Amino acid sequence: MDSDSQDRLNRRRRNNPLTASRIIETAIMILDADGEEALTARSLARALTTGAGAIYNHVGSKQQILAAAAAQLVTRAVSAEPRSVDAASNLRQLMLTLFDVIDEHPWVGAQLTDQPGQPALLEMFESIGQHLDALRTSEAQRFHAASALMNYVLGVASQYAAAARRARQTDRGTFLADIASDWRSGQRASTHPFAYRNAPQLAEHDERQQYLAGVNFLLIGILNAPPSTGDPVPSDPTI
């Protein structure tokens, strides 16, 4: 590198100092564009015009970068102000927002399901719990309700992570059409009658609508759950 090029590089570094925030934002851009495999010390260093050593001085390992990137996106999502005075509507909106984060950033799904105990999961659980507080669910049921909603999100996250990996070989429509065709073939009508009847819906369903239907089923159960042992039972059945 000649002296003029080095001077220009030094000026860029002075004007855009390397910070953990810049590294995470750049990592998110790489992950969104090319997936987890593309996130390396070399790709980050190239994008940030710095050295790999400087990056890891700020954020540590690749796994820490992935966890911080997922936490940043999830924290932004759960920090949105409630849109309604209706607590159930707000919880439903939160669940949809989490779905949209996973839909827009499929690598987040792999991160959430591969690394238990990470900050993103804590943020999700806390936000869901606060919405359940606003919903005034039974104190004894609240932990189980929050866990059920969390597990539902993580199930979807796992599916999206798998779909992102599969998309390198085939698109979603073709993949689902192949499964639906199998469900409608041969002796499925007698051996797997439910799958046989619902094969057309599998091939054509909207995943966001399907997810929201599942959220609604969970909310119906949460709102109508009988009191657990230890909950106070109203003396007046009209209460």
pLDDT tens digits for range 124-183:
999 999 999 998 888 888 999 999 999 999 988 888 777 766 655 567 778 788 888 999
Report the alpha-carbon distance of residue 20 to residue 50 in Å, rounded: 13
Task: Transcribe 1-36 into DSSP letters.
Answer: --HHHHHHHHHHHHHS---HHHHHHHHHHHHHHH-G
4-11: long-range pairs with CB below 8 Å, 24+: 9/49
Q: pTM (2 decimals)?
A: 0.78
List average pLDDT for each run of 10 residues in the chain, which is 239 residues long: 44 66 94 91 90 83 91 92 86 93 88 85 94 88 94 86 64 80 89 92 85 93 75 42
Per the document, the length of the chain is 239
Largest CA distance in the chain: 85
Question: Which domains are present in the chain?
Answer: 1-60 (1.10.10.60), 65-223 (1.10.357.10)
* Residue appearing with tokens 């309604």: 84
Cα angle: 29, vertex 32, 34; to 5 degrees: 100
Instruction: Give residue 31's pLDDT.
Output: 94
Rg (CA), the chain: 23
Task: Transcribe 198-237 into DSSP letters.
Answer: HHHHHHH--HHHHHHHHHHHHHHHHHTPPPPTTSPPPSST
Instruction: Give residue 6's pLDDT.
Output: 39
Instruction: Give residue 93's pLDDT.
Output: 94
